A and B are shown apart, each in its own frame.
Chain A
Amino acid sequence: MFAVFAMAGEHFSRPPIDWHAASPELILLGVGVLLTVIDIVWKERARALVAGLASVGLLAAMIPVITLAVDGEPRSMFGGAFVVDDYALIMKAIFLLSTYVVVLMSTNYISEGDYWENEYYGLLLTSVLGMLLMTSARDLISIFVALELLSIPAYMLSTWRKRDLKSNEAGMKYYLMGVFASAVMLYGMSLLYGSSGTTLLSGINEAVSGSGGPSAVVTLGIVFVVVGFAFKVSAVPFHTWAPDTYEGAPTPVTAFLSVASKAGGFVGLMNILFVGLIGRDDVYQPLIWILAAASMTVGNTVALRQTNIVRMLAYSGVAQAGYMLAPLAVLSTDVVTTGGATTIVADQALAATVTYLAIYAAMNLGAFAVVMAVARKTRSAEIDDYRGLFRYAPGLTVLMTVFLFSLAGIPPLGGWFGKFRVLEALISPGTAWGSALAVVVAVNSVVAFYYYGRVAVKMWVEEVPDGNMDRVSVPASLAAALAITSVVTLAFGVGPGLIGHFTQVSLLVGVGG
């Protein structure tokens, strides 16, 4: 029997591995394993270490991301299944930094709540590892494995408060919806594989482009795949899990889900649409159009009548997912000329979505950080308990106003620039459907301003309900999270060139085939 293996060994040669390109993932994997080992060996004594170690690991993984970006050369491994290009690197940086902020937010919350600290950070890093893999995945198998790697730890994290019925329910709903969605998506992937005979996205693109091939099977495959990702990014009508899970899960986990996990879904969707299905815009364009318009409209209208700020942010997140989906609805390989410069529509749409994702990560994490800080005093997430916040916590009030107004898209804050890029991407192809969606975006921005503004009015104008004027104690790590997110939100608004320079990425070149 060993002889068989030995013979097989002679013919088997390992595919070349570019260690530099894979090093962000390898560092995270190493730190994740280290956290687990420390937990097993030192048990309770490890508690003081884990949060620090996790943040060091996340920042250490940033180093190869930066060196790869300086190097600038697109790298491809495993026959084009793992690609590191500018787009993958900018998304990796967004994932690592936003998770670093989540760790800063978690430090006090998790240790004071007497949760299982060591496992918490291990699972958080595992989930980020899945997201980093997703940015580079250009193959159905690696996309599927990355999606599960980022989802499975997230199911456990949202059930983190084991004795709490609400947390149980949050995890249960998230889990059932999540597995159902990935099963449906997998069925779609099997159909795409069947109609092209390869799992590589570039090969699928060649097989399904144009009218050649079994069209009904391809259409069904595309629909199922898009629906599967629509669950992940909480687009209407597949958003029902989001508000319940966000309310029941521990708040730092909610922040993580609403930013990193959602961005992970977007990255997977963009990889498949841009690299694998760009030739079938007749199928996915109407589908994404409906999803985007429905998410914005339903998300914003339901957010109007929420009384809990976490649920309000959940529905606002549904609406924001609609804004980020919108540019993907005009995706095509057509070329537009604006002001003498020619760009491909798809590149412009990609840049708009990536820009919005980066800004959304900063402003949404910031809003959740303020919610956590206020809850340290009031022990509540009801919007009515934000009345008179300015009287006893002026700093937090100013920050919350910045984040909410940025989410609403008011200049000169980051969210405004994000919306501007989305509208630009929608209008410049000059199609009727694109312009119609731009109108939907504009109308929804006005509606959204009502509920963001309502919270601001409660904070600034109204009186403190119970007259309790005690200060809110903000621990150092939470303050650091607030500082990072607010600086980023302001900087992207004041100097749009900052982010605009980095997010001019393309997925149509250097995909390894």
Chain B
Amino acid sequence: MLLNQFLLLAALLFCIGVYGVLVRRNGMLVLMSVELILNSVNINLVAFGALTDDVGGEVFALFTIAVAAAEVGVGLAIVLLMYRNRRSIDLSQADLLKG
């Protein structure tokens, strides 16, 4: 089976996602980068599940999708709240708390 290709794709997505989280300063783009990581996880899980012929991988992927949706719902609410209060979602401006 073409397992390696799937794993390489997932690893690539994972790296792009981590890069995005660490470098991007826009709240929305950071959220989307996290989504990239979660999708790389799904690719991994489904690929491994198909390899071992175990349904557990697909079930895990479904759980990941459902929970990620809930997570993003809360995340969008927080980003929206920030936009309402300061008219910007630039994370580098959020620097009231430090020390």
Contact = CB atoms under 8 A, between A and B. Distances in A.
Interface in A488-507: none
A189 B48 CA distance: 12
A193 B60 contact: yes
B44 A190 contact: yes
A244 B96 CA distance: 9
Contacts, number: 123
Contacts of B52: 197
A193 B44 CA distance: 9
B41 to A, nearest CB: 5
Contact of B70 (A152, A171, A199, A311): A152
Contact of B81 (A144, A162, A311): A162
Interface in A120-157: 140-141, 144-145, 148, 152, 155-156
Interface in A234-266: 243-244, 247-248
Contacts of A247: 97
B82 A172 contact: yes
Interface residues of B, number: 45
B40 A148 contact: no
B82 A168 contact: yes
Interface in A169-226: 169-173, 175-176, 179-180, 182-184, 186-187, 189-191, 193-194, 197-199
Contact of B97 (A144, A148, A170, A175): A170
Q: Which label, helix, strand, loop or mixed, suits the secondary structure of the B interface?
A: helix
Interface in B20-37: 21, 27, 30-31, 34, 37
B93 to A, nearest CB: 10
B94 A173 contact: yes
Nearest to B33: A180
A137 B78 CA distance: 29
Interface string B53-81: 01011011001100100110011011101
A116 to B, nearest CB: 13
A198 B56 contact: yes
A172 B64 contact: no
A163 interface: yes
Nearest to B53: A197
Nearest to B99: A311
B87 to A, nearest CB: 12
B96 to A, nearest CB: 5
Contact of B17 (A140, A168, A183, A194): A183
Contacts of B8: none
Contacts of B70: 148, 152
A441 B70 CA distance: 40
A187 B48 CA distance: 12
Contact of A308 (B7, B10, B47, B99): B99
Given A169-B94, A187-B14, A187-B40, A179 B71 contact: yes
A270 B71 CA distance: 24
Contacts of B51: 194
Contacts of B34: 176, 179-180, 183
Nearest to A159: B78
Given A168-B81, A170-B97, A306-B99, 15 more contacts: A159-B81, A163-B85, A166-B96, A168-B86, A175-B75, A179-B34, A180-B21, A183-B34, A183-B37, A183-B41, A186-B37, A186-B64, A190-B60, A194-B48, A197-B54
7 contacts: A152-B70, A165-B96, A172-B27, A183-B34, A190-B45, A190-B48, A307-B99
Interface of B: 7, 10, 14, 17-18, 21, 27, 30-31, 34, 37-38, 40-41, 44-45, 47-48, 51-52, 54, 56-57, 59-60, 63-64, 67, 70-71, 74-75, 77-79, 81-82, 85-86, 91, 94, 96-99
Interface of A: 140-141, 144-145, 148, 152, 155-156, 159, 162-163, 165-166, 168-173, 175-176, 179-180, 182-184, 186-187, 189-191, 193-194, 197-199, 243-244, 247-248, 306-308, 311
